[in-house]
Amino acid sequence: MEGSSTQPPSPSGDEKGPIRIRPRRTRLVLTALAVAGGLVAAVVATPSFAAYEGDAKAGHGQRKAEFTSPFTGLPAKENPVLAVKIDNHKDARPQTALEDADIVGVEKVEGGLGRLFAIYSSHYPDTMGPVRSAREYNVEQMQMFQRPALAYSGARKAVVDKIKKSPLYGVSHDDFPDVYERGGDNEPPHNLYGHPDKILGKAPKASKASDIGFRFGAEPSGGKPTDEQTVDYGSSRTTFTWSAKEGRWLVSFDGEPAKGTSGKRLGGRTVIIQKTDMPPDSSGETPYIKTVGSGEATVLRDGKAFTTKWERKSATGDTTYTLSNGKRMPFHTGQVWLAYQQR
pLDDT tens, 218-260? 999 999 999 999 999 999 999 999 999 999 999 999 999 999 9
Non-local (6+) Cβ contacts of 35 within 8 A are none
Residue 184 is predicted with a pLDDT of: 86
How far CA 231 is from CA of 78, 251, 272, 278, in Å, comes to 32, 11, 11, 14
Residue 63 is predicted with a pLDDT of: 45
Average of pLDDT values for 185-193? 94
| pTM of the entire predicted model | 0.82
Residue 65 is predicted with a pLDDT of: 52
Residue 47 is predicted with a pLDDT of: 31
* 19-28, 111-120, 157-166: the lowest-pLDDT one: 19-28
**Contact of 92 with 153, CB cutoff 8 Å:** no
Average of pLDDT values for 154-161? 96
Buried b (16+ CB within 10 A) or exposed e, 287-309: bbbbbbeebebbbbbbbbbbebe
> Above pLDDT 70, what percent of the chain?
81
Rounded to whole angstroms, how far apart are CA atoms 179 and 170? 13
Rounded to whole angstroms, how far apart are CA atoms 261 and 268? 17
How far CA 283 is from CA of 43, 109, 138, 158, 233, in Å, comes to 55, 12, 14, 9, 19
Alpha helices in the chain (DSSP H): 49-58, 137-141, 157-165, 196-201
Q: Is the pLDDT of residue 7 over 70?
A: no
Residue 185 is predicted with a pLDDT of: 87
Residue 339 is predicted with a pLDDT of: 98
Choose the CATH number for 224-342 among 3.40.605.10, 3.40.50.2300, 1.25.40.10, 3.50.90.10. 3.50.90.10
Residue 27: exposed, middle, or buried by beta-carbon count in 10 A (0-12, 13-18, 19+)?
exposed
Three-class SS of residue 231?
strand
Length of the chain: 343
User: In the chain, where are the structural domains located?
Assistant: 224-342
Rounded to whole angstroms, how far apart are CA atoms 280 and 287? 4
For 138, which DSSP code?
Answer: H
Rounded to whole angstroms, how far apart are CA atoms 144 and 191? 29
Rounded to whole angstroms, how far apart are CA atoms 343 and 337? 18
The candidate with the shortest Cα–Cα distance to 52, out of 31, 73, 74, 79, is 74
